[in-house]
Amino acid sequence: MAYVAARGGEAAILQSEQLHQLLNAPLSLATVRMIEASLPYLVDRVMGEGSLYAPELAALALAQTGGDLYEAVLLLRAYRSTQPRLAYAEPVTQTELLTVRRISASFKDIPGGQILGPSLDYSHRLLRLDLLDQDNQDRSAPAPPAATVSSDAPAGEVPPSYDPSPLAVADWQRSEGLLAAVPEVLPTDPASLPDLTREPADFPAPRAHRLQALARADTGGVLALGYASMRGYGLAHPTVNELRLAYADVRLRHPVTGEPFSIGRVRVSQCEVVNTQATELRLGYTATLGWNEVKCIAGAMLDLEMDAPQPHPAHSEEFVLYHTEPVEASGFCIHYKLPHYVTFQSGLDALRDARATATDAPTEPGDVQ
Amino acid sequence: MQAHELLDILTRSPADAVKRFAEDLLPRLEPVEVLRNRTGLAMLPFRETAQESSFYLGEILLAEAHVRVARVEGYAACLGRDLEQALALALIDAAHRAGIAGPAIADFARTQAADLAETDEALMRAVGQTRVDLETF
């Protein structure tokens, strides 16, 4: 590939940036705070793909880029590269999660119950045009009632107590003999896991690399490949075993006392899917920073597909992990906007040569003109 | 109250309240030596439930502070990039472990813990109300 240097365009580049800002809302602290407070799922998506939990910075990145997701993720990753890694947190386990949503499509009755939590799954997908119409109505008209949480329980009845750390469905299945037991895992040094940010992926990838790559993968890319599996190009036809949205405490060890303490809570999501087509139940899994159900479901299905002996080429581990990396993929895509004049000129020269050669070539007897 | 329990509470408390409390505490702590006060990252390992293996979920932006007060070291970190919040937390940690202003710190922590517990309970009540019986759903 060849490029030409861009020279003499500084004024135009500055003007271009100013025009970009002019056509977006003014960048202000209020805008950043508004995005952080009112668009948490978008902020979560940027943090998950940026692989950095920093809601304030993700909101800033969204405001700064006018909501261009890939640019926002790139900004977050770039900022991350300026920061030293100070610590490895204590590993987060399922039992420590403060779970606010937990559903299973495999079993109706799961220990701890089905908890819808914050969700629009069963709501009408209708635009609230009445909000827009308020401009044209008497502003003194009473506002629609605020949404309230209701339940199957009759009014006034205290809902059953909720255990925020219910037993994992997979653990229950193991206890029932539905899933193979996993060997006991000994505590490991949190700093000793394979880390994609420090070493390149090699295939077949260690499971820690695969799950880390899926955790930071592009939601759209994971969905596209996962959807291809769901539509029939895949070998697995799984069911959602358990989907969770939760808060996780980030626990660091105090350097003086050695005791772990929480520096705060972060939003996490995870999904298990279960395949019943094999001779035994098999699970696929994906988790990510922030609340992002689509990515976790599609990623868990791809986790199953990647384990198949002869996966569809688009579901091989190398294909999935390389092509769902958001910064590399979007970066490669947008690099085509950069001047390619030399490359194109070279191709054009070759085309002209080929045409000239074809014109000059003597006609063989029997050739049809 | 153990030092880690104090930090568990105060790292989730409103930053402004923590800073104000540390500011009030400061005259009793002088001289304070700030050993470190910076932002950085913590990698978060996560245990999956399918094969019970561990992997890195992503990194967490944090602010940390390490101080020395009356020959006792204090340390704290909090989510985000608020260096003043981290410094305030580290000062309270140092004071607590040095036995300075013990009753005031305990009172402050109890108040904050009660507020946090109330918020958590309200959230869990709301979450509990979204429990569905799929036989009748």
A144 band by pLDDT with thresholds 50, 70 and 90: very low
Residues B11, A289: C-beta atoms closer than 8 Å = no
> Mean pLDDT across the stretch A156-175?
76
Q: Answer whether A234's CB lies under 8 Å from A310's CB.
A: no
Residues in chain A: 369
Location of structure tokens 């900004």: A75
Residues B52, A285: C-beta atoms closer than 8 Å = no
Cα(A286)–Cα(A317) distance, rounded to whole angstroms? 14
Pull the structure tokens for residue B68.
Answer: 């020395």
Q: Which residues of chain B neighbour A211 with C-beta distances below 8 Å? A: 46, 48, 53, 55
Task: Map residue B118 onto helix, strand or coil.
Answer: helix
Residues of chain B with pLDDT under 50: 137
pLDDT of the residue at A137: 65
Higher pLDDT, A104 or A177: A104
Cα(A297)–Cα(A313) distance, rounded to whole angstroms? 20
User: CA-based Rg of chain A, rounded to a whole angstrom?
Assistant: 26
pLDDT of the residue at A216: 98
pLDDT of the residue at A234: 83
A29 band by pLDDT with thresholds 50, 70 and 90: very high
Q: What is the pTM of this model?
A: 0.91
Side chain identity at A40, as an amino acid letter? P
User: CA-based Rg of chain B, rounded to a whole angstrom?
Assistant: 19
Reported as a single tens digit per residue, the pLDDT across A253-286 is: 999 999 999 999 999 999 999 988 777 889 999 9
> Mean pLDDT across the stretch A130-158?
58
pLDDT of the residue at A235: 79
pLDDT at A41 over 70: yes
Pull the structure tokens for residue A293.
Answer: 């159900």
Angstrom CA distances, B13 to A263, A294, B31, B61, stand at 11, 32, 26, 18
Distance from CA of A48 to the nearest CA of B (A): 8
Q: Answer whether A129's CB lies under 8 Å from A123's CB.
A: no
Which residue ranges make up each domain of chain B? 3-121
Q: Which residues of chain B neighbour A209 with C-beta distances below 8 Å? A: 55
pLDDT of the residue at A224: 96
Reported as a single tens digit per residue, the pLDDT across A64-123 is: 999 999 999 999 999 999 999 999 999 999 999 999 999 999 988 888 899 999 999 989
Mutate to test the interface with A, among B57, B71, B92 (most CBs of A within 10 A): B57
Angstrom CA distances, B44 to A46, A277, A352, stand at 17, 34, 57
Cα(A60)–Cα(A34) distance, rounded to whole angstroms? 10
pLDDT at A354 over 80: yes
Location of structure tokens 């420590």: A96
Closest residue of chain A to B15, computed from CA coordinates = A264
From the list A80, A89, A211, which residue is nearest B48 (CB)?
A211
Reported as a single tens digit per residue, the pLDDT across B3-14 is: 899 999 999 999
pLDDT of the residue at A9: 83
Task: Map residue A357 onto helix, strand or coil.
Answer: helix
Q: Which residues of chain B neighbour A259 with C-beta distances below 8 Å? A: 2-4
Reported as a single tens digit per residue, the pLDDT across A56-66 is: 999 999 999 99
Residues B60, A266: C-beta atoms closer than 8 Å = yes
Side chain identity at A337, as an amino acid letter? K
> Mean pLDDT across the stretch A137-142?
56
**Hey, how many other C-beta atoms are within 10 angstroms of the C-beta on B93?**
29
DSSP string over A46-82: HHHHHTEE-HHHHHHHHHHHTT-HHHHHHHHHHHHTT
Side chain identity at A151, as an amino acid letter? S
Task: Map residue A296 onto helix, strand or coil.
Answer: helix
Reported as a single tens digit per residue, the pLDDT across A201-246 is: 889 999 999 999 999 999 999 999 999 999 988 877 889 999 999 9
Cα(A299)–Cα(A217) distance, rounded to whole angstroms? 9
Q: Which of B34, B89, B60 is nearest to A85 (CA)?
A: B60
Mean pLDDT of chain A: 88
- Give yes or no for B36 touching A (CB within 8 A): no
Percent pLDDT > 90 in chain A is 63
Q: What does the DSSP 8-state code read for residue A142?
A: P
pLDDT at A148 over 50: no
Q: Answer whether B67's CB lies under 8 Å from B35's CB.
A: yes
